[in-house]
Structure 1
Amino acid sequence: MTEGTGQATAGVTVEHHLLAEVVTRQLEAMLSVGNYDAVKLLLEPVQPVDVAEAIGNLRQNLQAIAFRLLSKDEAISVYEYLDTVTQQNLLSLLRSGEMQEVMEEMSPDDRARLFEELPAKVVRQLLDQLSPEERKVTAELLGYEAETAGRLMTTEYIALKENQTALEALDIVRRRARDTETIYSLYVTDNERRLTGILSLRDLVTADPHTLIRDVMTEEVLSVRTNTDQEKVARTIQRYDFLAVPVVDLEQRLVGIVTVDDVIDVIEQEATRDLYAAGAVQAGDEDDYFSSNLFTVARRRVVWLAVLVVASFFTSEVIAANEEVLQKVVLLAAFIPLLGGTGGNVGAQSSTVVIRGLSTQSISALGPLKAVGREAMAGALLGILMMILVVPFAWWRGESPLVGLSVGMSLLAITTLAATAGAAFPLLFDRMGLDPALMSTPFITTCTDVAGTLIYLKTAEWLLVNLPQLLTAAGISTQIAPVLLS
């Protein structure tokens, strides 16, 4: 993306955000004085997504009034863009007859996504109000496991038969275009509904009217299973630049499609989870984090923090177990935060790049062992570079070359270990089928802090206590450690 393009995109984003704010203020003013005709004129040219944001920003008692002023088609489009909290609020404020129309016309995947968040009693009531056909579709989608292609897909697609002509297929597309999410990709099935091919709208329009579909379709179709994880579905669409990907069951029967707009939501959801995990925060319901009460916010954070506090006890135990060397050279304690912080930062950097590499699958070409080895060498190189700065300072501050050497050797070992652990732990978790983001920055930092403190104090004990004693016993001059031997 060029700089100019980036600036233009940012400008459009800001304008949309400001537009929603302006519409919200105007809506609130008009609704407060009962000027409903002006509200209809105001909302008519506004895009549904902006109307949804504006209504969501209104006070609860005004949300239902504004929603009622929308036409039926506008109401359905706007409702699908509303956040879950506002959707549930409108369900409680509007009459059942009003919501029945909206629920009936919603896209099956959006309806299923809403029902996931509602209490079971409310879902049963809403299902009873749906037509038998829509009730069956919704129940089928809710029957699939959460966060899979089956739960994410929509059943609104166009399927053609191999023995139909292009003219017949065009007639089907015209009749069903308004009821489907996309018509740019048309799917071909046999008499058993098994997916056998795919056809673009362009190929269909340009084909001879009497040509059979089997003669113009593409037989090699990339599809996903109903139990495929939603993140893998998103990567498939992203990798092949699809507008939609077909979903098949175990018998290869076409049961739905996942569209790119749903995939964008998945990518945002997964990115949010990874960011929360990297900060040692339980994800919960990502979208409502900042509207949650303080108790919920604290509950999401306290679990990991409690684990990390317990892990930090080991650092205290390591320091207590090496009290002797600290008593002899008290200044050693001053460098513990420096070494621990440096190791934690290096480990966090390594874990971040590896977790991101796993998410984008860019690390697969390098391989796990090479990735860990690469980060280990990077950690060692970083340690050597930082030694140039730290060792002279530690020598000067400790008034002994052995103090500087203790800090320098420990720094090199800690950065190497931290980079290795930061790369290895996420890869290990991924191999175990767990979320690699759980090997987050706080966890890596705490582990590195414990191991780094142990390495540092043991190195210092050997250089500043054991080595001078050995030299003295051997009758060798110990002038290299004047502070200890004075």
Structure 2
Amino acid sequence: MTDTNILTQTKSRTEIRLELRSQLQTLLEAQNLEAAKDLLQRVQPVDIAEAIAGLPQTTQVIAFRLLPKNQAIEVYEYFDSTVQHSLIAEFKNQEVQDIFDQMSPDDRTRLLDELPARVVTRLIEQLSTEERQATAQLLGYHAGTAGRIMTPEYIALKDNFTVAQALERIRSLAKITEIIYYLYVTDTNRCLSGIVSLRDLVTAQPNQTLGEIITRDVVFVNTDTDQEEVAKLIQRYDFLAVPVVDREQRLVGIVTVDDVMDIIEQETTKDIYALGGVQSGGDSYFQTNLFTVARKRVVWLLILLLTNTVTGSIIKSQEDLLQQVVTLAVFIPLLTGTGGNVGAQSSTVVIRGLNTDELQAMGATKIVLREAIAGAMLGVTLGTLAMVWAYWLQGNLFVAIAVGVSLVAIAILASVTGSALPFLFRSFGLDPALMSAPFITTAVDVLGVLIYFNIARLILNL
């Protein structure tokens, strides 16, 4: 058993990565390049990429150049786009060409999407004719679609091949294709006819034709299918890959599960940013210029600031009531805060349910009604506690009742608002996540204050 295997068994992956980064930095600072090179040869490429990315920028190039060429290409694909940009700037032209030409087409296209146009033009010109054509094909599709994220590195077999011929072709192409677990069968016009697994192929008789053993009910996507839909499809059917066809039903590529994991992470990050009222724009938040960060965040905050002025106007309009019963003002933060929290909870669960298609079968009306009932139950529970606390604090029964009743009404309103607005936004073709917690909270604040004062006037007969 090697030292690396022992290390893997006794330490977590996080501990291994941190230790690797520390050891690598120590060796490079001591200029012990041979030991650093030996250290990197015994580690997984993804861990090497993370260790190098954690080094000071001036040291990253030195560490990367210690890697053998084949390993360097694989490690480079795991780097974040920021590190990839930085290394490209430091490489000589020949080094860039060697790495860029041998990257998988989908990873290469993803990198090109992040680079300035001037650099993209230079890099594409350096590619071999075959790789340039493959890259141009992917760049020709819209961003965020199956065509843009697919890889053309797959094995296609003809339906008139025998099993023996198919296995021979697989042996010749296995090293240059991304996946061989699924084998795609096409007719003479390159149209997708069916699919056969490697297991089915090796258990079939050598003289059988693929047309006899393939599965013709194939789940596929089109080149213009949204990448999030592709991810949901692979997740739904537990695929390792899904074929991509063009408008003529010709097989043009595949999307693999590792690409889908990246998509899910991107989409989840985008939704979380939206829920927090932050415009991500598809960029990494923590690697974005601070002025850009402030500009993206200030938009929502300005909207919320203007909306909150309405709350102030409502309070000002109720000066006569507050002058007669000053204690009413004490409970405004309690009511608006609780209402905002209830609304944020409802909007969060509904938005998540919409993103996962969990709510598809239930329908908007049923969901909103369900949340309204939940809001009523929460309101009664919290309202009773708030009424007892308000009476103990102020000793005014009518004020306590006004607080309790208002909290019930606000909780119901918040639940309905938080659950209904995401559906409304989706019906307009907008992202439901835009109905984020800050927006719901502010809306409930305005309406909650209005409800509170009107209930107080009614109960106190003022």
Equivalent position amino acid for 2:458 in 1: W
CA distance, structure 1, for counterparts of residue 9 and residue 106 of structure 2? 29
RMSD between aligned residues: 1.5
CA contact (8 A) 2:270 2:282 kept: no
Partner residue, 2:126: 129
Deviations along 1:414-468, one digit per CA (max 9) or x if unpaired, are 10010001000111112222111111111100000000000111111222234xx
Partner residue, 1:365: 361
Find the residue that maps to 1:242 and give its secondary structure.
coil
Partner residue, 2:167: 170
Equivalent position amino acid for 1:169 in 2: A
Deviations along 1:12-33, one digit per CA (max 9) or x if unpaired, are 8972222222222222232233
Q: Which moved more, 1:122-131 or 1:276-285?
A: 276-285
Deviations along 1:46-68, one digit per CA (max 9) or x if unpaired, are 00001111111122222112211
CA distance, structure 1, for counterparts of residue 320 and residue 142 of structure 2? 58
Is residue 290 from structure 1 mapped to residue 286 from structure 2 by the alignment?
yes
Partner residue, 1:459: 455
CA distance, structure 2, for counterparts of residue 406 and residue 33 of structure 1? 72
Find the residue that maps to 1:198 and give its secondary structure.
strand
Partner residue, 1:391: 387
Find the residue that maps to 1:371 and give its secondary structure.
helix
Aligned residue among 37, 42, 47 for 1:40: 37
Partner residue, 2:4: none
Partner residue, 2:98: 101
Identity over aligned residues, as a percent? Answer: 56
Q: Which moved more, 1:185-194 or 1:105-114?
A: 185-194
What is the TM-score when the length of structure 2 is the normalising length?
Answer: 0.95
Aligned 1:252-291 pairs, distance under 5 A: 252-287=249-284, 289-291=285-287
Shift of residue 245 of structure 1? Answer: 0.5
Is residue 409 from structure 1 mapped to residue 395 from structure 2 by the alignment?
no
CA distance, structure 1, for counterparts of residue 10 and residue 94 of structure 2? 37
Partner residue, 2:191: 194
Partner residue, 1:237: 234
CA distance, structure 2, for counterparts of residue 300 and residue 311 of structure 1? 18
Aligned 1:70-469 pairs, distance under 5 A: 70-287=67-284, 289-466=285-462
Equivalent position amino acid for 2:83 in 1: T
CA distance, structure 2, for counterparts of residue 173 and residue 72 of structure 1? 25
Partner residue, 1:68: 65
CA contact (8 A) 1:273 1:286 kept: no
Residue 104 and residue 451 in structure 1: after superposition, are their counterparts in 2 closer, same or farther (change >3 A)? same
Equivalent position amino acid for 1:72 in 2: K
Residue 83 and residue 459 in structure 1: after superposition, are their counterparts in 2 closer, same or farther (change >3 A)? same
Shift of residue 285 of structure 1? Answer: 4.3
Residue 422 and residue 218 in structure 1: after superposition, are their counterparts in 2 closer, same or farther (change >3 A)? same
Find the residue that maps to 2:279 and give its secondary structure.
coil
CA distance, structure 1, for counterparts of residue 351 and residue 447 of structure 2? 22
CA distance, structure 1, for counterparts of residue 20 and residue 318 of structure 2? 66
Find the residue that maps to 1:256 and give its secondary structure.
strand
CA contact (8 A) 1:56 1:86 kept: yes
Equivalent position amino acid for 1:381 in 2: M
Equivalent position amino acid for 1:310 in 2: L
CA distance, structure 2, for counterparts of residue 260 and residue 130 of structure 1? 27
Find the residue that maps to 2:180 and give its secondary structure.
coil
CA contact (8 A) 1:339 1:452 kept: yes
Equivalent position amino acid for 2:333 in 1: P
Partner residue, 2:53: 56
Deviations along 1:64-101, one digit per CA (max 9) or x if unpaired, are 12211211110110000011111011101011101101
How many pairs are equivalent? 455
CA distance, structure 1, for counterparts of residue 386 and residue 63 of structure 2? 64
Structure 2 regions of 5+ residues with no counterpart?
A: 1-7
CA distance, structure 2, for counterparts of residue 13 and residue 358 of structure 1? 41
CA contact (8 A) 2:61 2:87 kept: yes
Deviations along 1:303-335, one digit per CA (max 9) or x if unpaired, are 111111111011011111222111111111111
Equivalent position amino acid for 2:420 in 1: A
CA distance, structure 2, for counterparts of residue 235 and residue 12 of structure 1? 34
CA distance, structure 2, for counterparts of residue 85 and residue 31 of structure 1? 22
Residue 104 and residue 323 in structure 1: after superposition, are their counterparts in 2 closer, same or farther (change >3 A)? same
CA distance, structure 2, for counterparts of residue 394 and residue 28 of structure 1? 61
Partner residue, 2:18: 21
Find the residue that maps to 2:12 and give its secondary structure.
helix
CA distance, structure 2, for counterparts of residue 402 and residue 265 of structure 1? 57
CA distance, structure 2, for counterparts of residue 348 and residue 407 of structure 1? 21
Structure 1 regions of 5+ residues with no counterpart?
A: 1-10, 467-486
CA contact (8 A) 1:144 1:226 kept: yes
Equivalent position amino acid for 2:18 in 1: E
Equivalent position amino acid for 1:383 in 2: G
Partner residue, 1:473: none
Equivalent position amino acid for 1:328 in 2: Q
Find the residue that maps to 1:355 and give its secondary structure.
helix
CA distance, structure 1, for counterparts of residue 224 and residue 32 of structure 2? 50
